Amino acid sequence: MIAINVLADSASLRQWEEYWRSVGGEDVLFAEDARGEAVAGFNIRAAGTKIIIDRAGQIIFRDSRITPYEQLRALVERVL
């Protein structure tokens, strides 16, 4: 899983990573999108957007609302 910080001007990547680790964000690769390439490429309009991409590169899930952990886990396990 990759978590991308698209709000680089509001917090450093290190601060963001420390926060997510403190709330149980283990086994996650953290990255920063300082130039907005991920935002533009995936047409992200809201903070907290979750996108699940299968092995073929197809988006199988996209949501910018609160999504139950169990739902996300089931979707990720399906594409593994």
pLDDT digits (tens, 9 = 90+) for 36-46: 898 899 998 88
- Predicted structure pTM score: 0.71
Total domain count, the chain: 1
Cβ atoms of residues 75 and 60 within 8 Å = yes
* Percentage, residues of the chain above pLDDT 70: 94
Structure tokens at 10: 């509001």
Which uninterrupted H or E stretch holds 62?
strand 59-63
Average pLDDT over residues 9-25: 75
Which structural domain range is residue 19 located in?
2-79
pLDDT higher than 80, residue 58:
yes
Count, in order, helices (H) and strands (E) of the chain: 3, 4
- At 8 the pLDDT is 59
Any idea what the CATH number is for the domain that residue 15 is in?
3.40.30.10
pLDDT over 70 at 7, yes or no = no
